Amino acid sequence: MNIESSRTTYDAGELLESSLTEDPVEALRTWLEAAYEHREIDEPNAMCLATAGAEGAPSARMVLLRGLDARGLVFFTSYLSRKGRELSENPRAAVVFHWRAMHRQVRVEGTVTQLPEDESDAYFASRPRGHQLSAWASEQGEPIDERAVLDERLEHFGARFEDEEVPRPHSWGGYVIAPQRVEFWQGRPNRMHDRIEYRRNERGWTRRRLQP
């Protein structure tokens, strides 16, 4: 390990204004599609999500992007988790995608709302049964004495919902991040990276190039 001196040359391409659509959500979709096509990129929809509660102390963790439309970016989690509590106190978030093999990063900042219940129901119904049961068995972020207790809880809910569809727990569902700022970053040699920032105003989106 050589933290001080390991260096990567970022030279996978350049970022031209003309290559990005006027709508940053569409531009993000195009970059995601490219990441899905890249054979070295595993889970291109993984993103680091930062939230902060009423006191303003940030916390960050990875989540998976599960939807992208005109409203914004959708992810699913427990509403009672730390992120869920922080979002109820302060409904704003920032996310970062990093597609290392493409030397690309996208940052999104915006306001957060809960996804309508019918959409959370529909997504929950599409999950594998084991994932559905784990949403019942686990109180995300709460301490537990030992792993075996969790396994027992999973078994308990497996028996409770035997021969029926597992309903969505009310404490679990989606959030939508409505973007206010989106930045596309393409690494370039000598740390002279390309950065294009979009900001939303009353009329739509404005765009400008930032120094690296």
Ligand X SMILES: Cc1cc2nc3c(=O)[nH]c(=O)nc-3n(C[C@H](O)[C@H](O)[C@H](O)COP(=O)(O)O)c2cc1C
Nearer to ligand X, 75 or 184 (CB): 75
Task: Judge whether 147 counts as a catalytic residue.
Answer: no
* From 129, 191, 208, 209, the catalytic residue: 191
Distance (Å) of CA 85 to CA 73, 98, 167: 19, 26, 22
**Least distance in angstroms from the C-beta of 141 to ligand X:** 4
Least CB distance from residue 76 to ligand X, whole Å?
A: 6
> Nearest approach, Cβ of 41 to ligand X (angstroms)?
13
What residues from 60 to 119 belong to the interface with ligand X (CB under 6 A)? 61-64, 75-77, 81-83
- Count of CB atoms within 10 A of residue 197's CB? 16
How many residues belong to the site for ligand X (CB under 6 A)? 15
* Backbone phi and psi for residue 184, each to the nearest 5 degrees, phi listed first: -105, 130
Cα separation, 89 vs 55, whole angstroms: 9
Contact 41, 35 (CB under 8 A): yes
Q: Give me the phi and psi of 207, to 5 degrees please.
A: -140, 140
Instruction: Write out the residues near ligand X by the rule CB under 6 A.
Output: 43, 46, 59, 61-64, 75-77, 81-83, 140-141
Positions annotated as catalytic residues are: 191
